[in-house]
Amino acid sequence: MHQPLPHLTVSRLCALMREVLEDNFAQVVVDGEISNFTAASSGHCYFCLKDENAQVRAVLFRAQARALRFRPENGMRVTAFGRLSLYTQRGEVQLIADDLQPLGVGELQFAFEQLKARLAAEGFFDPSRKRPLPPYPGTVGVVTSASGAAIHDILTVLKRRQTGIRVLLRPVRVQGEGAAAEISAAIADLNRHGEADVLIVGRGGGSLEDLWAFNEESTARAIFASAIPVISAVGHEVDVTIADLVADLRAATPSAAAEIVAKGRLELESHLDHLILRLCGRMNDRLTLLRERVAGLERRLRSPRQMVSQWRERQSELERRLVRAMAHAHREKEGRLRALAGRLDALSPLNTLSRGYSIAFAQKSGKAVTDASALSPGDRLCIRFSSGSARATVEEIEP
């Protein structure tokens, strides 16, 4: 009944198992959670894929690990694409992964969030390290493609604004394999060259894939390390790139970046105008004040001799005024006297008497008699004529 089984060595058994696995699982797609993740110094990554009830060992070799845009981490849910094999030394089944993709979110989005979190933890986005643009933007270094829309837009703006700014372009590829490395090197080159006062790093708009070089770690680190302030100018509307977050200033487009630089230059010109006005104004004010003060002091400053002669002048003036006043008063009095004399003359009864009238004075009262009934026969009268007078007695009264 019992057919005797052939004896196998362990190696032979493992070789058979491996053959079975590799023939039947040449291509597998497995969803699972990463655990026990280890990135070895060789560059290969070892981990387990597991779910609630089971787990399988997996490996991601160096070349494939490097091609990943995100970093696998424990607890991350991924889809692994690969094949099964046997790790014969240990007799363990092993999933050899060619690619991993995060489950649920796009790979790029995921990689973006991961890098963002990591750099944030390192303080790359710290507002306190954002530097102001230089006061004198004489030379602007530009890191972008020599043939793209970005450099064209930047030059158009700077030429239109007539700012006299010098542009130093360090041409790079802005997308595709190796673009991030070129961008990073260009930023370092411009720093080494040392003539640019500010850098514009960017490109025209594109898809998330096209803009990827601006979301890579090497670009972020180069911007962070730049001693020259960096304006990011990645033409896109929806999301920010990592480069935008690290840069000292973010412009929405290359044109906007050029406007910022031009504005700095124009503000500088206006600052200078202002300083010159203040300089001259302040000096003028001061000199005007001083001149007035000197003139005022001069007016108040007199020698004693001047004062004596001034007193003398004053004295003789007063004298003149006194004489003039006296003469005036004299003339006035004289005039009044003449006028009064004239009026007195006109009122004098002597004139009337000269025309044949006479005045009778009662001797008793000495008053002029104006009514005959006031007299009685026998009263004595003194009659005054124009020339001389006579004494008379009243004989009869005719009322």
Q: Which residues bind other proteins (CB under 8 A)?
A: 135-136, 138-139, 141, 146-147, 151-152, 155, 158-159, 162-171, 189-190, 192-195, 197, 265, 268-269, 272, 275-276, 278-279, 282-283, 286, 290
Structure tokens at 317: 């003036």
CB of 122: closest distance to other proteins in angstroms?
29
CB of 276: closest distance to other proteins in angstroms?
5
Instruction: Say if residues 216 and 242 touch (Cβ distance below 8 Å).
Output: yes
- The residue among 141 and 254 lying less far from other proteins, judged by its C-beta, is 141
* Cβ partners under 8 Å of residue 289, min gap 6: none
CB of 95: closest distance to other proteins in angstroms?
44
Q: Report the alpha-carbon distance of residue 86 to residue 265 in Å, rounded.
A: 67
CA-wise closest residue to 119 among 261, 49, 215: 215
CB of 258: closest distance to other proteins in angstroms?
10
Q: DSSP secondary-structure letter at 368?
A: B
For 209, list phi and psi in degrees, rounded to 5.
-65, -45
How many Cα neighbours within 13 Å face the side chain of 254? 22
* Cβ partners under 8 Å of residue 237, min gap 6: 205, 252
Instruction: Say if residues 80 and 89 touch (Cβ distance below 8 Å).
Output: no
Cα angle 67-72-73, degrees, rounded to a multiple of 5: 165
Structure tokens at 358: 């006479």
Helix (H, G, I), strand (E, B) or coil at 60: strand
- The residue among 191 and 389 lying less far from other proteins, judged by its C-beta, is 191
- The residue among 119 and 140 lying less far from other proteins, judged by its C-beta, is 140
CB of 198: closest distance to other proteins in angstroms?
12
CB of 193: closest distance to other proteins in angstroms?
5
CB of 266: closest distance to other proteins in angstroms?
10
- The residue among 153 and 244 lying less far from other proteins, judged by its C-beta, is 153
Q: Bridge partners of 389?
A: 384
CB of 247: closest distance to other proteins in angstroms?
20
Which amino acid, one-letter code, is at 368?
Answer: A
- The residue among 186 and 211 lying less far from other proteins, judged by its C-beta, is 186
CA-wise closest residue to 111 among 265, 215, 228: 215
CB of 290: closest distance to other proteins in angstroms?
7
95 sits in which H/E element: strand 92-102
Instruction: Say if residues 379 and 362 touch (Cβ distance below 8 Å).
Output: yes
- The residue among 272 and 397 lying less far from other proteins, judged by its C-beta, is 272
- The residue among 101 and 139 lying less far from other proteins, judged by its C-beta, is 139
Instruction: Say if residues 154 and 255 touch (Cβ distance below 8 Å).
Output: yes
- The residue among 197 and 244 lying less far from other proteins, judged by its C-beta, is 197
Which amino acid, one-letter code, is at 16?
Answer: L
**What is the number of other CB atoms lying within 10 angstroms of the CB of residue 324?**
10
- The residue among 194 and 296 lying less far from other proteins, judged by its C-beta, is 194
CB of 149: closest distance to other proteins in angstroms?
12
Q: Report the alpha-carbon distance of residue 100 to residue 160 in Å, rounded.
A: 49
Helix (H, G, I), strand (E, B) or coil at 358: coil
CB of 158: closest distance to other proteins in angstroms?
5
- The residue among 13 and 266 lying less far from other proteins, judged by its C-beta, is 266
Cα angle 195-212-36, degrees, rounded to a multiple of 5: 115
- The residue among 280 and 372 lying less far from other proteins, judged by its C-beta, is 280
